[in-house]
Homo-oligomer: A and B are copies of this chain.
């Protein structure tokens, strides 16, 4: 094995803790291991006290998470990580501020998620441009988080759910309970609406929803940005 070269990846986690656990599970499952040493070493800051992204960006009722995220990134860099990753889509609104504060790369879940969604568009999208349905927090549309990289990767239209406010309630319910049945039903219904609205691909762009992807319709490809981040972390760990 090639242990000595294996790089440590720093995780800006706790947003929420269940999504941080899911990322670690996906990293474990992605590797055919003979022993512990075959797995990617991580330094995981499960900071459950990062100010709420929803309160700061959607509701306008709380402090900015930016200084806390920047401090977390700096500390992980000081501890010697080779790269940073952040299993929270919405928090990527602060990605540029984090990048300005550290020298190690911040792997970009939003960029990789957008790129993977485009790669899953059907051949018809070559002429039509294609439609990507976005399942995420209200902050994503408000701040154009996925719109910016998508424009770089082609002509696909980003479709936001008509019932976005309801989806936001589901997001909050998932933070209370990962298998909340009402939240699962809302996610399922909103996803079906997006398919009925002609979406070619569903893009899961909230790590709370990554815990409930089993409710999503199988009639179109489903791309989870968290899976795209896993792929990117595996590449960075072996680079």
Which A residues have a C-beta under 8 Å from some C-beta of B?
3, 6, 14-18, 20-21, 24-25, 27-28, 33-50, 52, 75, 79, 172, 175-176, 178
Contact check, B20 vs A24: say whether CB atoms are below 8 A apart.
yes
Question: A52's closest neighbor in chain B, by CB?
Answer: B35
Decide if A16 touches B44 in the complex (CB within 8 Å).
no
Would you call B36 and A25 a contact (CB within 8 A)?
no
Contacting residues, chain B, for A44 (C-beta < 8 A): 42-46
A41 touches B37 (CB 8 A): no
* Minimum Cβ distance to chain B for residue A77 (Å): 13
CB-contact partner of A24 in B38, B46, B79, under 8 A: B46
Let me know if B40 and A48 touch, CB within 8 A. Answer: yes
Copies of this chain, how many? 2
Complex Cα distance, B48 from A35, in Å, reads 9
A16 to B33, CA, bound (A): 11
When distances are taken between beta carbons in the complex, the residues of chain B under 8 Å from A175 are 33-36
Q: In the complex, which residues of chain B have a beta carbon less than 8 angstroms from the beta carbon of A75?
A: 79
Contact of A41 (CB < 8 Å), options: B18, B35, B42, B46: B46
Contact between B52 and A36, CB atoms less than 8 A apart: yes
Bound-state Cα–Cα, A175 to B36, Å: 7
Nearest CB in chain B: distance from A19 CB, A: 9
Q: Are B17 and A28 in contact (CB under 8 A)?
A: yes
Nearest B-chain residue to A53, judged by Cβ: B36
- Are B21 and A48 in contact (CB-based, < 8 A)? no
| Cβ–Cβ < 8 Å partners of A45 in chain B | 43-44
Contact A176–B49 (Cβ < 8 Å): no
CB contact between A79 and one of B21, B52, B79 (< 8 Å): that residue = B79
Residues of B within 8 A of A3 (CB): 49
- Which residue on B lies nearest to A50, using beta carbons? B36
Closest to A46 in B: B42
Q: How far is the CB of A196 from chain B (nearest CB, A)?
A: 32
Inter-subunit contact A25/B21 (CB<8 Å): yes
Q: Are A6 and B49 in contact (CB under 8 A)?
A: yes
| Bound complex: CA A178 to CA B40 (Å) | 16
